[in-house]
Amino acid sequence: MSLAVDSHPALALYAFTTTFPSPLGTIESPDWLTALLLADAAAPLSREESTRAVVRDMLRQGGYKPTGRGKPASEYLVRSASEGKLRSINPAVDACNVVSLHSGLPISVVDLDRVTEPLRVGIAGEGASFVFNPSGQEIRVGGLLCLHDADGPCANAVKDSQRTKTRGETTRTLSLIWGVESLGDRTDRAGRWYRELLERLGATTERMRG
């Protein structure tokens, strides 16, 4: 599987695949992983206000406005964790949320068996949208950097599509860290830590390069 990445003046994308030893519905997140869902947990990366600002600036490049309900997912995680409301979902999502929370970088994780090639990262066209939750709510993603598959945009730094989200049967995922060039090696450090957490769970990971 390959991933094409359109030219972008600020994006530093870190993409990798993960294969779990069994379906996610049969794997429970261990205590050491769920403990990292706390806002004050000791972690190799820590949030900085400058990270929040440059991520928003990066998402504005295509004309999208990352404010209000359209702000980066990493900002929602900070609020939930600070209020003690960040709960375990499954090992794949928990690891994603842990790294996003502490790095300040938004991250997408999708079920590889629910996307259809070709895969491309680029700015979504005007009027593009997708359903992002079981109740059928839609997000308009025109002007926003998104992962696209053959059926259209399906993930981004704000919300991921319901049709490609992980489920109990998931055994393979694609993770995308929506980093920013001006942050130096922060994205790579987040990616390495993310993969270490997943491999500690018994999964295997492989870096994808556009």
pLDDT higher than threshold 70 for residue 152: yes
The pLDDT tens digits of the residues spanning 48-104 come to 889 999 999 999 999 999 988 899 999 999 989 988 889 999 999 999 999 999 999
CA distances from 27 to 93, 114, 149 (A): 12, 20, 28
Confidence category of residue 183, pLDDT binned at 50, 70, 90: very high
pLDDT of residue 47: 86
Average pLDDT value over all residues in the chain: 96
What mean pLDDT comes out for the span 147-165? 98
Cα separation, 140 vs 13, whole angstroms:
22
What mean pLDDT comes out for the span 147-159? 98
Confidence category of residue 210, pLDDT binned at 50, 70, 90: low
Judged by DSSP in three states, 24 sits in helix
- Is the model more confident about 137 or about 1? 137
pLDDT of residue 82: 87
The pLDDT tens digits of the residues spanning 192-204 come to 999 999 999 999 9
Confidence category of residue 138, pLDDT binned at 50, 70, 90: very high
Cα separation, 53 vs 72, whole angstroms:
10
pLDDT of residue 201: 97
- Which residues, including other chains, have CB under 8 Å from residue 99's CB and lie 6 or more apart? 45, 105, 107, 177, 190, 193, 194, 197
pLDDT higher than threshold 70 for residue 158: yes
